[in-house]
Structure formats: structure tokens, C-alpha cells
Structure 1
């Protein structure tokens, strides 16, 4: 990659987003989550919301391997429309500094379980300067010396969550986000507001409200192109065939 405008082309060459809409793809998704959350970090990983969630996998084309995952949990009548974050965050949410006044009981969801395989996450040589919140979208995202500009993979997963939210006509979603990831997502252009204090949930997490529509409108041109490519992929029946061997370990 020679410049920032190449992000969309680089994505199309190396990656593909896929709806998890078969049992085979679910098996792959859960295996990836197991590898990241349990084997790497020791988190509790499965819950009763999986059956009702919208799942998405990010595939690496050259290896035909699933390397990223995200899900969106809609409100479920069986659980009295209560989302996981509302169970685990034991204090009232604070909406004083947000664009909403309270948690609406219809047309919302929760974004969770964002995961990227360790080999595709930040490397020391990539030097993303995640502590500098003032950086512009896509600054330091690409470098001709990097094998892959892996810093944009979180935006791929966020774009998948936006697609699910648009399909479900959700004006906003809740999320429990690790602080460093929140810094990176904000730098990429993700629009969200903090609605509570940091709390302990398999590490430090912060409750946020995420705005899909304003995020999409706020994206810089190169990330808008990337998101459009992903939304288009997820709007098609794009089951990957011959996946039984993928991520087999």
C-alpha cells in the first residue's frame, strides 16, 4: 500500500466479511472466539445470547482463514429485553453527556465479542501510537513497510455491526469496551459516548452508547469506501464453501 486511499483496495484483496448463517460457520466463529477469549485471555466466552445474536466473521482470503469476529445482540423478549451490559453494569447509566436521554426499550442492541486473532493484531513494529487520541482518522494506518495495515481491521468489524444495526433499524447500540480499544475506535471515526464509570468484567471495561448512523456519516472518505464494501458484502448471500478445515487446530 502506498497511501491512505488504498485501504478499500487492500481490504478487497486480502479480506472478506461473511454473515454467519450456517451451522458450519457458527462452529468456525465459536472456535475463533474460544481461541481469542479463552486460550489467550481466560475470559468466560459463551452465553445464552448467542442463539439469538447476529454473528459476522472476517476472513483472510490468502489463507481462507477466519481471523476476526463480532456480534450484535438484539433485544430478546425471552430475557425481558434486557441486554447483557444491563446485567453486568450494576449502576444506573449516565446519559447527561450523550445524545440520548435514556435506554429506549425498542430497536436497540448490544455490540460485543469483537475479536481478532493475535497474529493479525497490533505488532510492536506497527507503532500505532494508541495513546495519542488527537490523531486523525487513518493517520498512521498504512505503511509501505508493513505486511498488512492491520490497524483498520477493527473498523471492518464495526462496519459489520453498523450493517446489522441498519438492517434492524437500530438508532444506537450499547457496548462494553476495553479502554485502549475505545481510543483506537474513536480515532477511526466511531461515534460513541461514555455512559458510566469503568468497571471490572474480565478486565477493565467502560460502558458506551454507539451511534451507527452518525458514525457512518462521520467517516473519512477512505473509511467510507471500506464500510461500503463491507455493507455490500453482508447484503449478499455470501456463504463461503468448503470451510470444514478452516481454523482447525
Structure 2
């Protein structure tokens, strides 16, 4: 089922698909070195082996990391029955006192491309900004999977019933970023993205604003911005219940996850 067909489904059908997604998948926040390494391994598969961020090697335990991981919260989307990691993202939260010229990854990699006169990380309060990055789904959940190795058995065969929710994983991951940004009381969200993802998210009411010129970063990308308060107001109504479900999952895990990150304002908001 393609993305266009998902957008054309009636509200009841979309509700059924999201209910199944809630049953089949869980969001987990990394809270120790072992869980963080699981995120880094998935990132290595996607960003090094597929995209080519760094030259891949044959080491199955290889990790993809950078200096911003220490000041970030890391989230993994896991298929419950198999234990397979289906997607991930990180939320970079610059610590107070950070150099305003390089608070976020996109300032380092695309600083000269940021052209908006007002929506610039260096011009906004540091305690209100964040960046979504390393946002991706595993290849097996983007293409038709046949067999996949799991944590506790040789292979896993996804059923047609399980596969029918795979096109919703990208929006589910973004609902998780939206929830997590609110939970840590940030408002201004930045991201460096190819144009396809903002177009997809706009179909669900999340309208990112382009704030910079295109750069070449493993493909053509632009810096984008969204106000998390406005995102809450403009989110499509049928996403509210899935959002609440994800919000509850993350809220219960956040205190333990944030314990090993640089001191940050932590405000767990009431459920919307």
C-alpha cells in the first residue's frame, strides 16, 4: 500500500491501521550504553551501508556515531513480536553555554546555507531549540521484506497483515519526535532534510518551513523549521489518538533516558 493510498483511506480505516500499529510496534528511549548502541547499529546499517555517510565495513557490530550523540535523546521503533529495530531518530538538545555559532548539527554542516533572517538557531533562546536528525526507517520496512534475522530466532516472516501498516511508520516516527520535543519543553525544531519528507509530513498537518539554500549532504538537502506549538494545533484530528498513545509511552521512559544527558529543563506535559 503506497503513501498516496494511505492518504486516501477513510478515517475509520486509518484508525484501524494506527490501532494495529500500536499493537505491533513500540517506541523505546535509549537509557544506557547497551540501548544506545542498538540505535547506533541501526544507524550504521542505514547511513553507512545504504547512504554512504562513512565507508562501510564487514563488521556486524559496527556503529554510526558523532559528537552530537552525547547531548541527544535517542529513540528506537521496535517490532514487538520479532524484536527487530524498524526505525530511529535522535533529538539533539544543546546545553546552556554552547557556542551560538555551532549549537546544532545543521549549523556545522550547513551553517552558510541558513538564510532566514529570524529563524536561525543562533537567534533563538538556546533552551527552546532542538534538532531532529538520524531520522530513518530500516530498509526491511520500506521495501517488501521476506526473511529477517531476529534477536532470538534465525528468521522472521512478516505477514501481509503486519506489512500493511509499514507505510505509517514514517508518520509514527514523527509523532514520536513531536511528543518528545514537547516533553522536554522545546519549541523551535530544526532539521536538515531532503524535500520529500517535509512534503509527506505536510499531508498530516505538519508544515515545515524551508529556511536555507540547498546543500549537497549525501543528496540534496535543505534546512527546515517548524514551531512545535503550531504543529500541535495543525495536526490532523485522526492523528490525535495515536499521538496520545506515543506520548504516554515516551513520558514513562523519559526520566531514565534523560539522566545521562547534559542537564536540561525537563517538563513532562499533561496529555493533550
24, 28, 39: which one aligns with 1:14: 24
Root-mean-square deviation (CA, aligned residues, Å) is 2.7
Number of equivalent positions:
218
Aligned twin of 1:109: 130
In the alignment, what sits opposite 2:93? 74
Q: Deviations over 1:126-159 (max 9, x none)?
A: xxxxxxxxxxxxxxxxxx9883232221122112
1-structure distance, mates of 2:228, 2:92: 14
- Taking structure 2 as the reference length, the TM-score comes to 0.72
Give the gaps of 5 or more residues in structure 2: 1-8, 55-63, 145-159, 257-272
Task: Report whether the alignment pairs 1:150 with 2:169.
Answer: no
Q: 2:219 aligns with which of 194, 203, 224?
A: 203
1:122 and 1:185 mapped to 2: Cα distance? Answer: 20
After superposition, residues 90-109 of structure 1 pair within 5 angstroms as 90-91=111-112, 93-95=114-116, 103-106=123-126, 107-109=128-130
Match of 1:55 in 2: 74
Distance (Å, rounded) in 2 between the aligned partners of 1:145 and 1:19: 27
* Equivalent residues of 1:112, 1:175 under 8 A apart: yes
4+ runs deviating over 6 angstroms: 98-102
Tell me the alpha carbon deviations over residues 15-70 of structure 1, each in whole angstroms, 9 at most, x when there is no partner: 11111112221111010000111111111442101011011000111211111101
**Does 1 or 2 have the higher relative contact order (CA < 8 Å, sep 6+)?**
1
Instruction: Name the residue aligned to 1:83.
Output: 104
Name the CA distance, whole Å, in 1 between partners of 2:211 and 2:174.
19
Between the aligned partners of 1:215 and 1:77, the Cα distance in structure 2 is 25
> 1:126 maps to which residue?
none
Alignment correspondent of 2:204: 188
Structure-2 residue corresponding to 1:233: 249
Counterpart residue number, 2:5: none
From the two aligned structures, give the one with the greater helix fraction: 2
TM superposition score normalised by structure 1: 0.78
Q: Does 1:176 align with 2:192?
A: yes
**1:74-119 CA deviation, whole Å, 9 max, x = no partner?**
11357525211111114263336x8899730321011100011111
CA contact (8 A) 1:8 1:229 kept: no
In the TM superposition, residue 8 of structure 1 has moved relative to its aligned partner by: 2.8
- Name the SS of the counterpart of 1:3 in structure 2: helix
